[in-house]
Structure 1
Amino acid sequence: MTRRVVVTGMGGVTALGTDWPGIRARMARGETAVRTMAEWDRYEGINTRLAAPVVDFSVDDRYPRKKTRTMGPVSRMAVYATERALADAGLGDDPVVKSGRTGIAYGSSFGSPAPVIAFAELMTEGRSKTLNATSYIQMMSHTAAVNIGLFFGVTGRIIPTSSACTSGSQGIGYAYEAIKWGKADVMIAGGADELDVTESAVFDTLYATSTRNDRPHTSPRPYDRDRDGLVIGEGACTLILEERERALARGATIHAEVMGFACNSDGNHVTQPQAETMEIALCMALEDAGLSASAIGFVNGHGTATEWGDIAETAATHAVFGERAPIHSLKSYFGHSLGACGAMEAWLGIEMMRDGWFAPTANLEHVDERCAPLDYVMGEPRRLDVEHLMSNNFAFGGINTSLVFRRA
């Protein structure tokens, strides 16, 4: 018999703040976190100067040096988001965290890029001035998951998810499955990524970044006919998932229920998304949730503001929902936070569902005629009474994920 899974804790670090009331207020004012990175002028061959950084974040006065020496910025944000989420769940000092029945499913597209320099020096110069015992720990792709486990003394299963833009959503999905099938009672789930010019360079070489460098407030523009590419952001988000009966027995606040999850791959091309397999992923998530498409009241879109990504995603969404389901993209506010986006968008989607208030896609003024006809939320926030929300993410390599949440 399968078990029901609920969300009892949420915490995050975003470029618009670390708490939902503050983030909502800034979004309601139409603010986005995108700015021009003048410090990137030193890099030749990089066209974009836009990014959405987390400003003034530090845990130096919060955590002892002994705890942070294995952490790069991505792990520090992940650990802080997890601390907030555990506190929100009322599990900050609960013995279950160290009992072996709590696990971690957490992802990032990469670790911290800076330590790579130490290994590059070794390879190119035959010696390294900066290589030390923590260099690899900080840069490895599962650094966030490992550092969360070390910091909080977690002894249960660790599921690292390093799958670019689906890292965070895979983390939530695999955590849900671990509890559903009785392998854990509590799971720390989510994703994180730190901003670095190398990440923007990846997309810049593909001509996929926005170059509205003197107009940062106008980009990115998901689904818009005048979009010119994505903007890279950063952040971290952690959800605490828990077996429903356990959560009820201890009187926990339940924010939402995880109803379904699906993940598949295109099996076709590294960077050319396929609407057909995206559609299958959405249908699989609905099947896992035991719901029809008509039950979904809102779709949290991936919406990167890349041409073929937007077109394929909207075609898949239309194939499942037709024109009826409202949709938006939160990347218009935070940029593309890569490994963090799936978890961050799930958190904010749950908050919006609870409030009955959904932000419009920022900068969406004229829907691209090549995008499928959907109910795009644009211009003004939308007041909606939503019981079920779907959150979708799609990544390099043709990896597709879909999560379904029910309002508590």
Structure 2
Amino acid sequence: MKRVVITGIGGITPLGHDWATISARLRQYRNAVRRMPEWDYFDALNGRLGCPVDDFVLPPWPRRHVRSMGRVAQLAVAASERALQDAGLHGNQWITDGRMGVAYGSSGGSVEPIRVMGHMLDTGSMQGVTATSYIQMMAHTTAVNIGVFFGLKGRIVPTSSACTSGSQAIGYGYEAIQQGKQKLMLCGGAEELSGPGAAVFDTLFATSTRNDEPTLTPRPFDRARDGLVVGEGATTLVLEELEHARQRGARIYAEVVGFGCNSDGSHITQPTSETMAVAMRMALDDAQLAPQAIGYISAHGTATDRGDVAESEATHAVLGAHTPISSMKSYVGHTLGTCGALESWWAIEMMREGWFAPTLNLTDADPECAPLDHIVGEVRSIDTRYVMNNNFAFGGINTSLIFKAIDA
């Protein structure tokens, strides 16, 4: 079995697009949530808060590539370009000779072509329907646009699994390299912010309605939480076989050592703590680690009623009450398809620097949640070699990833 390391990272997030900017924003203890006047058009939408990427500018790419991309694919390709540049692989023949594959996902494709197709169904008019409408709206639009844009000829693994799209992508990319099927994998997830995306959770009474208090929500694991806030962005990790990375003198961020993935098999939207716990144990078994080895947990932490309770129970059952934990969704909301990759990225960077950001707005832990060592108030200095990132999605899909600080 091959060892797998991370040699490049790129991201587009509501807090910034590079770690220096993001880490400074995390230390300001202020989230990126804002009211969305763009959604005033939707008369019955209760939650009108979001975490958009307001400063994303489309690079000057050739039109032949851009015309197949909606916003979600644009974000994914931009993050992937940054990751390849960071890894020293952009334009390198190694990524186009078949040794690099793609594992990437989003909750779905872009919304605008879906609107156009809906208009066609509603009126019979094909006005606005183009040869690329389906390409922009299809569930695997991020993965295939990345593959075509960079000329990648390895395997393509689309992971359109809502909130686990990014974490499943990292896990499946890890397994492909581990089993010797690829030398390199471009892995991650993306999401674009939209009114319909918010409405999905609004109809489930799962969105925060603190519309006039954006800095005070979301509130993961807090007694006063009232739901999630949707966000957007993209994060891409370059995964590489360790010896391949060493031979080319690559900088290594961390090693991927554990991955667990399963499903509840019981309900589409109601989480099950027992199977969540199984996913965490699977990751620990894969990494051949005892629970006590984990020095920090990046929680899924959506700030939904039952989700936080189930996650806390599962976390407590596997790792006890004394492993430090925090939720990055308190800063950028629920970025859906990208959260598994974004939260993995931030956990790795914080591990490298020896500090971890607190959960914002967590002032009174919900007694219905199992007791955990929540990082609150300010950053906490922690010297650890292992961090765990957990994510859970509609359909009862559970993922757990473990990253190790790499030896010098």
TM over 0.5: yes
Query: Could you tell me how far apart the structure 1 residues matched to 2:82 and 2:122 are?
Result: 42
Q: Quick one: which of 367, 376, 379 aligns to 1:378? A: 376
Question: For 1:9-28, what aligned pairs fall within 5 Å after superposition?
Answer: 9-28=8-27
Query: Could you tell me how far apart the structure 2 residues matched to 1:263 and 1:295 are?
Result: 20
Letter in 2 for 1:10: I
- Secondary structure of 2:91's aligned partner: coil
Deviation at 1:66, TM superposition (A): 2.1
Q: Give the equivalent residue in structure 1 for 2:7.
A: 8
1:137 partnered with 2:135: yes
Deviation at 1:27, TM superposition (A): 1.2
1:280 partnered with 2:278: yes
Deviations 1:217-259 (A, max 9, x none): 0000000000000000000000000000110111100000000
Query: Could you tell me how far apart the structure 1 residues matched to 2:251 and 2:226 are?
Result: 42
Query: Could you tell me how far apart the structure 2 residues matched to 1:94 and 1:357 are?
Result: 34
Letter in 2 for 1:57: F
Q: Quick one: which of 372, 391, 394 aligns to 2:392? A: 394
Deviation at 1:265, TM superposition (A): 0.2
Q: Give the equivalent residue in structure 2 for 1:250.
A: 248
Q: Give the equivalent residue in structure 2 for 1:230.
A: 228
Deviation at 1:379, TM superposition (A): 0.6
Deviations 1:331-381 (A, max 9, x none): 000100000000000011100000111000011111000111110001111
Query: Could you tell me how far apart the structure 2 residues matched to 1:357 and 1:374 are?
Result: 18
Q: Superposition RMSD on alpha carbons, in Å?
A: 0.7
Q: Give the equivalent residue in structure 2 for 1:89.
A: 87
Deviations 1:294-326 (A, max 9, x none): 110000000000010000000000001111100
Letter in 1 for 2:41: R
Q: Quick one: which of 170, 192, 195 aligns to 2:193? A: 195
Q: Give the equivalent residue in structure 2 for 1:320.
A: 318
Q: Give the equivalent residue in structure 1 for 2:101.
A: 103
1:114 partnered with 2:119: no
TM-score when normalising by structure 2:
0.99
> Percent of counterpart pairs with the same letter?
59
Q: Which runs of 5+ in 2 are unaligned?
A: none
Q: Quick one: which of 165, 183, 188 aligns to 2:163? A: 165
Query: Could you tell me how far apart the structure 1 residues matched to 2:202 and 2:34 are?
Result: 17
Structure 1 range deviating more: 266-275 or 86-95: 86-95
- Secondary structure of 2:111's aligned partner: coil
Deviation at 1:38, TM superposition (A): 1.4
Deviations 1:70-118 (A, max 9, x none): 0011111111100110111111122111011110000100110110122
Query: Could you tell me how far apart the structure 2 residues matched to 1:29 and 1:92 are?
Result: 33
Q: Quick one: which of 202, 205, 208 aligns to 1:207? A: 205
Deviation at 1:62, TM superposition (A): 2.3
Query: Could you tell me how far apart the structure 1 residues matched to 2:37 and 2:85 are?
Result: 37
Letter in 2 for 1:365: T
1:333 partnered with 2:318: no
1:347 partnered with 2:348: no
The ranges of structure 1 where at least 4 consecutive aligned residues each deviate by more than 2 angstroms after the TM superposition are: none
Letter in 1 for 2:178: K
- Secondary structure of 2:43's aligned partner: coil
Query: Could you tell me how far apart the structure 1 residues matched to 2:76 and 2:373 are?
Result: 34
Letter in 2 for 1:36: R
Structure 1 range deviating more: 228-237 or 37-46: 37-46
Deviations 1:16-43 (A, max 9, x none): 1000111111110112110001121121
Query: Could you tell me how far apart the structure 2 residues matched to 1:313 and 1:171 are?
Result: 21
Structure 1 range deviating more: 114-123 or 96-105: 114-123
TM-score when normalising by structure 1:
0.99
Q: Quick one: which of 248, 256, 259 aligns to 2:257? A: 259
Deviations 1:104-144 (A, max 9, x none): 00010011011012211221211221000010000111001
Q: Quick one: which of 57, 60, 76 aligns to 1:78? A: 76
